[in-house]
C-alpha cells in the first residue's frame, strides 16, 4: 500500500504549513523586549536597558535550546519569585536576563514557575 505521507514517521496533520517562528536578531529582540516589558517596565526614571552583545549572545543561545516561547515563559516565571523581585533581606532584585537565561537549570526552573502556582517556593527549596 502506498502512503501519501512523504515521511512515514510524521503524521499527516503535522505536515500542514505552520507559521515559522522568528529567528536571528528578530527572535533575540522579541525575547529582550519581553524581558524589558516584564522586568523593567516599572523602572520609571531609571536607565533604559540596552541590548548589548553579551545579552544578545545569552538570549540567542537560550532560543537555540528552547525557542522563544520557553524563554518568554522563564521571564514570566521569575516575576512570581518574591526573592528574585527584590522582596528579600537586601531588597535587591535578581532578575537580569543573563540570570534568567544563564543555563538549562535556570531556564527550566523559571519557566516552570510561570505555569505552576506556588512554584517559586518549590524552586527555592530545591536550590
Q: Where are the domains of the chain?
A: 53-127
| Nearest in space to 58 (alpha carbons), one of 96, 22, 26 | 96
Q: The whole model's pTM is what?
A: 0.74
The whole-number pLDDT of residue 65 equals 95
Helix runs in 5-126, H state only: 24-39, 53-78, 97-100, 104-115, 119-126
- 38-61: per-residue pLDDT in tens? 998 766 567 889 999 999 999 999
DSSP code for 124: H
Q: Which residues of the chain have pLDDT under 70?
A: 1-20, 42-45, 117-127
Amino acid at each position: 500500500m502506498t502512503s501519501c505521507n512523504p515521511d512515514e514517521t510524521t503524521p499527516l496533520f503535522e505536515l500542514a504549513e505552520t507559521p515559522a517562528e522568528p529567528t536571528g536578531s528578530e527572535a533575540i529582540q522579541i525575547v529582550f523586549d519581553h524581558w524589558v516589558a516584564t522586568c523593567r517596565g516599572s523602572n520609571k526614571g531609571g536607565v533604559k536597558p540596552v541590548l548589548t552583545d553579551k545579552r544578545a549572545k545569552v538570549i540567542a543561545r537560550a532560543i537555540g535550546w528552547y525557542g522563544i516561547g520557553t524563554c518568554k515563559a522563564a521571564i514570566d516565571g521569575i516575576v512570581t519569585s518574591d526573592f528574585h523581585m527584590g522582596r528579600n533581606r537586601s531588597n535587591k532584585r535578581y532578575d537580569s536576563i543573563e540570570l534568567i537565561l544563564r543555563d538549562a537549570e535556570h531556564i527550566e526552573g523559571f519557566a516552570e514557575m510561570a505555569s505552576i502556582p506556588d512554584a517559586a517556593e518549590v524552586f527555592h527549596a530545591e536550590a
